[in-house]
């Protein structure tokens, strides 16, 4: 465990960032990497190594806030990084107008999650603007773009949208019915869930769908018991030792979370084989720098390191905090969020 702590700390505190395996550093996605690091440290019960106030400021500097004339409301949310070149500002005062500055749904999700993890009270989040920005991303079929300029649309962003609404305790940011229609329409003939209608069922999109429904409070309402049993079966069949993402594909550490968490939400994770799962995840550890990779003897990366830890947390590994299977943060952070919600609901607007 200590090694993983080192791995995550290296990611956030060192002046140099190491990215292995997956290609050039993806600057515009920086916030997601920071989320993996922070949430990973949290699950390792080690957020105390972080300079929280500084990080909170940095996250707030990524918020796309309304300009003076409010003409950019449909573009609000959080950026992944400062890569566009907008001058640094920690969400104080109106936003700076820039022709290409918009939020990204995954960054808004991870930005809010990071703030929650860091114990911030979200008071500098312009909730109305975030929700307007989110609404602007939803398509007719219920799915979401990542950015208002347009992008691909699939179940990943449905999940991000659900997390945003959940964390802000406000579902006006989406048309829930349409989102649910999209989710139901993405169920495959084999009872897994694909990224969209007709697409191959996949562990990642199945998680996104089931977790989104769970966050909406609609899981039992929108799927019959028979359908839920079918989804359970599809997910259970993904275990080979670790978990695969699709039938007849190799296992990969991150599916120990994607599929594991889905099974947990469906109340049957307890019936998986913990030992084989654990042994697989541990076999993908990097003994030099810590972290996990998708396969044994491969380079670790922040995503697999984080989901490896989460996969172990699901089976109740010692010295790890429990992870909330739908919101994908520690139970501690989840309870802090519940507390925030209570304080919001307690006061009059």
Partner 1 sequence: MSAITQTSDLTNKAALIPLATERPAYYRMSGIEETSNVSSEFQEERSEVEVEEEIGYEDPFRYVFYRDRKEWADLEPVPQDDGPNPVVKIAYSDKFTDVYDYFRALLKNDEKSDRALLLTAEAIELNAANYTVWHYRRVLLQALEKDLREEMRYITAIIEDQPKNYQVWHHRRMVVEWLNDPSEELEFIAEILSQDAKNYHAWQHRQWVIKEYKLWDSELEYVEQLLEEDVRNNSAWNQRHYIISHTTGYSDPAILNREVQYSLKQIKKAPHNESVWNYLKGILQDLGLSSHPGLLEQILELKETHCSPYLLGFLVDIYEDFLENTLEHHEEVLSKALELCELLAREKDTIRREYWSYVGRSLQTKYVIVSSGFAPTNE
For position 15 contacting partner 1 by CB under 8 A, the verdict is yes
Residues 54-113 binding partner 1 (CB under 8 A) are: 54-55, 57-58, 61, 81-88, 90, 98-100, 104
CB closer to partner 1 out of 279 and 319: 279
Residue 84 CB, nearest approach to partner 1 (Å)? 6
Residue 36 CB, nearest approach to partner 1 (Å)? 12
For position 298 contacting partner 1 by CB under 8 A, the verdict is no
Q: Which of 224, 273, 319, 338 binds partner 1 (CB under 8 A)?
A: 273
CB closer to partner 1 out of 142 and 203: 203
Residues 310-349 binding partner 1 (CB under 8 A) are: none
For position 139 contacting partner 1 by CB under 8 A, the verdict is no
Stretch binding partner 1 (CB under 8 A), from 18-26, 167-175, 306-314, 335-343: 18-26
Stretch binding partner 1 (CB under 8 A), from 148-156, 215-223, 310-318, 328-336: 148-156
CB closer to partner 1 out of 233 and 339: 233
CB closer to partner 1 out of 200 and 220: 200
For position 215 contacting partner 1 by CB under 8 A, the verdict is no
Partners of residue 323 on adjacent β-strands? 330
Residue 275 CB, nearest approach to partner 1 (Å)? 10
For position 18 contacting partner 1 by CB under 8 A, the verdict is yes
């Amino acid at each position: 465990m200590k090694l993983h702590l080192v791995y995550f700390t290296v990611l956030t505190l060192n002046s140099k960032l190491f990215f292995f395996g997956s290609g050039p550093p993806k600057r515009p996605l920086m916030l997601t990497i920071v989320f993996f690091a922070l949430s990973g440290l949290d699950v390792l019960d080690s957020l105390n190594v972080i300079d929280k106030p500084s990080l909170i400021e940095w996250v707030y500097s990524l918020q796309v806030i309304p300009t003076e004339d409010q003409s950019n409301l449909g573009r609000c949310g959080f950026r992944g990084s400062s890569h566009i070149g907008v001058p640094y500002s920690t969400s104080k005062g109106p936003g700076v107008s820039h022709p290409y500055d918009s939020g990204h749904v995954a960054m808004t999700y991870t930005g809010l999650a990071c703030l929650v993890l860091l114990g911030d009270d979200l008071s500098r989040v312009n909730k109305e603007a975030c929700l307007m920005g989110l609404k602007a991303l939803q398509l007719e079929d219920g799915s979401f773009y990542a950015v208002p300029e347009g992008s691909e649309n699939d179940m990943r962003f449905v999940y991000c949208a659900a997390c945003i609404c959940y964390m802000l305790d406000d579902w006006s940011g989406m048309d829930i019915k349409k989102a649910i229609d999209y989710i139901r329409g993405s169920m495959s003939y084999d009872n897994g869930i694909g990224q969209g209608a007709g697409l191959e069922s996949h562990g990642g999109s199945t998680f996104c769908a089931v977790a989104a429904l769970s966050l909406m409070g609609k899981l039992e309402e929108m799927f019959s018991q028979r359908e839920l049993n079918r989804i359970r079966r599809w997910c259970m069949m993904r275990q080979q030792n670790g978990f695969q993402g699709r039938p007849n594909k190799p296992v990969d550490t991150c599916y120990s979370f994607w599929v594991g968490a889905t099974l947990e939400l469906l109340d049957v994770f307890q019936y998986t084989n913990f030992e084989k799962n654990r042994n697989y995840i541990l076999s993908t550890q990097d003994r030099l720098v810590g972290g996990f990779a998708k396969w044994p003897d491969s380079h670790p990366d922040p995503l697999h390191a984080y989901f490896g830890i989460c996969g172990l947390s699901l089976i109740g590994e010692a010295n790890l905090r429990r992870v909330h299977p739908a919101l994908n943060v520690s139970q501690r952070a989840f309870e802090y969020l519940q507390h925030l919600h209570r304080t919001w609901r307690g006061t009059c607007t």
